[in-house]
Structure 1
Amino acid sequence: MAKNYRKGQFVKVKVTGIQPYGAFVKTPDNQEGLIHISEVMNDYVHDVNQFLSKGQIVKAKILSVDKHGKLNLTLKENEYFKSEERKRDRRSVLEQIRETEKYGFESIRQKMPEWIEEAKKYLKDK
């Protein structure tokens, strides 16, 4: 018998598949759900595979339950992913480039204003 899930509830789920837009999960009683890529953390996530892998069990918060019982989940209130977000804030600009950007003059020119602001914020916080 399927458990009744409700919005705001925390539940442990197992990742059953990963797509570019998010991770499919199942609860212990086989209720299916999705953690959309935008719900992994507050920061921009380029690739879900950097944070989740098939078979991994995570604690997620239910955002909604649709009429078919499918769960819409978030990891933004999971302490592990919050700490990962804080670690990402402390990385250097070069690490961020290596992880997400293609090299070239055009991408550097596009990103330069953002990097300058990040550097100013970093220096102000020190």
Structure 2
Amino acid sequence: MTKKYRKNQFVKVKVTGIQPYGAFVRTPDNQEGLIHISEVMNDYVHDVNQYLTKGQTVKAKIISIGPSGKLNLTLKENEYFKNEEKKKDRRSIIEQIKESEEYGFETLRQKMPQWIQEAKMRMYDK
């Protein structure tokens, strides 16, 4: 028999899978749910894998229950993830730059020779 769940209830769930848009979870009584990427933290989350792993158990809050009984959950009120947000806010500027290098500066470095070549070609076409 499936336990009755209600909105705003906290429940422990186990991560059963991770996709780019969120994490699939299951309650101890096998009720399925999803923690959407936008519900992991208040801040922008680039990759769910930075915060959750398959097999991990977390305490989540139910934000809604779908017609089929699937749970939509949030971690934004989980104390651990709140503390992670606070730590992120206290990072030094060097840590922030190092984080952005992985996604931004490497791409610029790779693209720059191509852009220079395209600009030279446009100059000679005029």
TM range (shorter): 0.7 to 0.9
1:7 and 2:7 equivalent? yes
- 2:50 is aligned with 1:50: yes
- The ranges of structure 1 where at least 4 consecutive aligned residues each deviate by more than 3 angstroms after the TM superposition are none
What does the per-residue CA deviation read over 1:35-62, in whole Å, with 9 as the maximum and x for residues that have no partner? 0000001011111000000000000000
Tell me the TM-score normalized by structure 1. 0.79
Q: Structure 2 matches for 1:58-73, cutoff 5 A? A: 58-73=58-73
Unaligned runs of 5+ in 1: 106-126
Write out aligned runs for 1:105-116 (5 A): none
CA separation in 1, counterparts of 2:93 and 2:23?
A: 28
- Which letter maps to 1:53? T
Secondary structure at 2:45 match in 1:
coil
One-letter code aligned to 1:57: T
The count of aligned residue pairs is 105
TM-score, normalisation: structure 2 = 0.79
Deviations 1:105-124 (A, max 9, x none): 8xxxxxxxxxxxxxxxxxxx
Question: How far off its partner does 1:69 sit?
Answer: 0.3
- Counterpart residue identity of residue 11, structure 1: V
